Chains A and B, each alone.
Chain A
Amino acid sequence: MRRNSGRSSVWNFLRVTAVVFAASSLLLVASDNAPERVPSYVSWSQETLAAASAGDAFRGMLLAKRCDHCHGSEGFSATGSTPNLADMDELAIWKELEDFRSHKRISRAMEPIAESLSSRDVADVVAYYSKLPVYTDPQDNRNFPGSRPGPGHAAIASHLVAFGDGERGIPPCQSCHGPVAYRPGVPSLMTQNSEYVLSQLEAFANRSRANDINMPMRTISTLLTEDERHALAEYYGSGLGLQPGSSR
């Protein structure tokens, strides 16, 4: 008798398990319709801000010796397709390295390098580059002040940088990328290579880069015309962004 009731409770248990399993698999199928697309695992909470700005710049300098080959010993790269890192905002480099680590930003060169760094290494390297000054007497073979844009492109770009385009809903570049205002994780562009700026604008536009939180750059780069993208890249790459108003 006792044995019998034990067996029936086992059957009951199995039946309940089967029902729970079926229900949960149905739920999973239902929720599978819209898998969440996460652009980046970074969120600018207080802990993140503290972790990103707690680096040791001296240790970062030693670690950054291996970055010199591409990003330059003074933080200015010799090739235009590689970004300059000198004086870059701490949070901006930190976010990109974290995105490379989590494969949210795709780069054949940077993903393995970022993966090899610990989170402490990332914070240290970031601290070093953010404190690296923009030397007035460069000793390296840098690409940076590129050729100046023609008058047409300079006018288009300086207007977009300073005022954006209210009709199309393009905010001014300088309201997030400086010097007027910055948002956390947004890079300063004033000393960036033109080739790199252009490649990133195009990557955002064709969605091959999609790690911008709440998609501001994917939206804006899609609204910009091909000509405007070139104009903006030439504007920033020639150092015009360092002296606002000089191009007019």
Chain B
Amino acid sequence: MNWRKLRTFLLTVLVLCLIPATRYYQIDAPLLHFLKGSRDVDPLSLHLAGEFVENNLGTEQGADGSVTVRMIAQQYLFVPHCILVPAGVPVHLRITSADVVHALAFNGTDYNVKVLPGTISEAQLQFSSPGEFKTVCREFCGAGHYAMRSELKVVPRDQFPVLRSGERGNCAAQ
């Protein structure tokens, strides 16, 4: 009888452990949203004002050298279509969705950021060496989901362009 109780208890603990284990590599936006307080944005009017207007998207270099990347995920594109970041520098990613739930992942890395409409997902990324990564959407978002891909280019620190204030870097063809 006692043995059976212990077994049930251990099984329950194991099953409960599975939940954080599956979340380990995911930056869980709903959870962060709950823990850090609300950071609401209106997904329908991102283009009108605020942080995600189109000329503010891309890589921003702060005066202190910090790097922030702002992106929009929408059916079926990431905007901007190619992101440029320096290697070996912590990159602060801020991304939001204009329509449905997406998940931003860089193929070949462990980063997977869930993107929800109405909230800003934040993540700290760091890429140790230069390279090119395919950016894919890993949350089914509709008919064109499988083609929702873009690129991430990590360049050596000295090759990263010096951005003036108000200027945003990206490597999408203009």
Interface residues of A (CB under 8 A from B): 33-41, 43-45, 163-172, 174-176, 180-181, 183, 213-216, 219-220, 222-223
The answer for the CA separation of A38 and B48 in the assembled complex, in Å, is 6
Inter-chain contact total with CB atoms closer than 8 Å: 97
Query: For chain A, what secondary structure do more than half of its interface residues adopt (helix, strand, loop), or is it mixed?
Result: loop
Give bound CA distance, A176 to B174, whole Å.
Answer: 23
Is B47 among interface residues, defined by CB-CB distance under 8 A? yes
Q: Give the Cβ gap from B140 to chain A, nearest Cβ, in Å.
A: 13
- How many angstroms from the CA of A43 to the CA of B78 in the assembled complex? 19
A43-B47, A214-B54, A222-B174 given; A166·B147 CB < 8 A: yes
Interchain nearest-CB distance for B59 vs A (Å):
14
**Which of A36, A164, A215, A223 meets B144, CB within 8 Å?**
A164
- Chain A CB within 8 A of B142 CB: yes
- Determine if B126 is an interface residue (Cβ-Cβ < 8 Å): no
CA–CA, A51 and B75, complex, Å: 24
Q: Is B2 an interface residue (CB 8 A)?
A: no
Chain B, 154-174, contact with A by CB distance < 8 Å: what is the 0/1 string? 000000000001100000111
- 30 A-B residue pairings within 8 Å (CB atoms): A33-B165, A36-B49, A36-B55, A38-B53, A39-B47, A43-B42, A43-B47, A43-B48, A45-B44, A45-B45, A164-B76, A164-B144, A169-B77, A169-B151, A171-B75, A171-B76, A171-B77, A171-B148, A172-B144, A174-B143, A176-B76, A176-B144, A214-B46, A214-B47, A215-B79, A216-B74, A216-B77, A216-B79, A219-B77, A223-B173
B150 at the interface (CB under 8 A from A): yes
A171 and B147 contact, Cβ closer than 8 Å, known pairs A38-B53, A216-B77, A222-B173: yes
B115 at the interface (CB under 8 A from A): no
Asked, given contacts A43-B47, A164-B144, A166-B147, whether A214 binds B98 with beta carbons under 8 Å apart, the answer is: yes
- The answer to the question of B25 belonging to the interface, with a C-beta cut-off of 8 Å to chain A, is no
**Quick one: closest B residue to A34, CB to CB?**
B166
**Does B56 touch A at the CB level, under 8 Å?**
yes
Shortest distance between the CB of B40 and any CB in chain A (Å): 15
**Interface of chain B residues 18 through 46 with chain A (CB within 8 A):** 42, 44-46
A220 to B173, CA, bound (A): 10
Query: Residue B81 contacts which of A167, A176, A183, A223 (CB distance < 8 angstroms)?
Result: A223
The reply to whether B142 and A181 contact each other, CB–CB distance below 8 Å, is yes
Chain B contacts with A in 42-78, Cβ cutoff 8 A:
42, 44-49, 53-56, 72, 74-78
Return the CB mask of B114-143 against A: 1 if under 8 Å, else 0.
000000000000000000000000000011
B153, CB-defined interface residue at 8 Å: no
- Please name 20 further chain A to chain B contacts, defined as beta carbons within 8 Å, in addition to the given A36-B56, A39-B54, A172-B143, sorted by A numbering: A33-B165, A34-B55, A34-B56, A36-B49, A36-B55, A37-B53, A38-B53, A163-B147, A164-B147, A166-B146, A166-B149, A167-B149, A169-B149, A169-B151, A175-B75, A183-B99, A214-B72, A216-B74, A216-B77, A219-B172
